[in-house]
Amino acid sequence: GQNIDQPTEMTATEGAIVQINCTYQTSGFNGLFWYQQHAGEAPTFLSYNVLDGLEEKGRFSSFLSRSKGYSYLLLKELQMKDSASYLCAVRKRHGSSNTGKLIFGQGTTLQVKP
């Protein structure tokens, strides 16, 4: 089967750094995505990792360790607008193709306080 775990809620202070962890167990791993979803809005893409290591994109970075089934999203210089739900999603390979469905974790609700 497949399982994706994320903390349910986190709180951090404006200007600080926060790390949101995601662990997964799935066969046919074909990449991991992070999405941001503000309340009442659609999810928006943040990052993609398929190889081990760190991908940096501005204030956001994402790390992947395939052997450990582990990823994290790092948010630096937190701003109030970063208060949102952060969704970890694993692409599960369909057969031998490069396609596959996205399996989402429950999401981590981040609250940034002044």
Partner 1 sequence: KAGVTQTPRYLIKTRGQQVTLSCSPISGHRSVSWYQQTPGQGLQFLFEYFSETQRNKGNFPGRFSGRQFSNSRSEMNVSTLELGDSALYLCASSLTGQGSDEQYFGPGTRLTVT
Q: Is residue 42 within the footprint of partner 1 (CB under 8 A)?
A: yes
Query: Of 16-24, 29-37, 56-64, 65-73, which segment contacts partner 1 by CB under 8 A?
Result: 29-37
Name the nearest CA neighbour of 57 among 40, 33, 37: 33
Q: Is residue 19 within the footprint of partner 1 (CB under 8 A)?
A: no
Q: How far is the CB of 10 from partner 1 (least distance, A)?
A: 16
Alpha-carbon gap, residue 15 to 49, rounded angstroms: 26
Alpha-carbon gap, residue 73 to 50, rounded angstroms: 14
Name 65's Cβ contacts closer than 8 Å, sequence gap at least 6. Answer: 52, 71
Rounded to 5°, the CA angle 45-51-57 comes to: 40
Q: Is residue 31 within the footprint of partner 1 (CB under 8 A)?
A: yes
If the CB atoms of residues 74 and 103 are measured against partner 1, the closer one turns out to be 103
Name 96's Cβ contacts closer than 8 Å, sequence gap at least 6. Answer: none
Site string for partner 1, 78-97 (x = CB under 8 A): ---------x-x-x--x--x
Q: Is residue 98 within the footprint of partner 1 (CB under 8 A)?
A: yes
Residues within the interface to partner 1 (CB under 8 A)? 30-31, 33, 41-45, 48, 50, 87, 89, 91, 94, 97-107
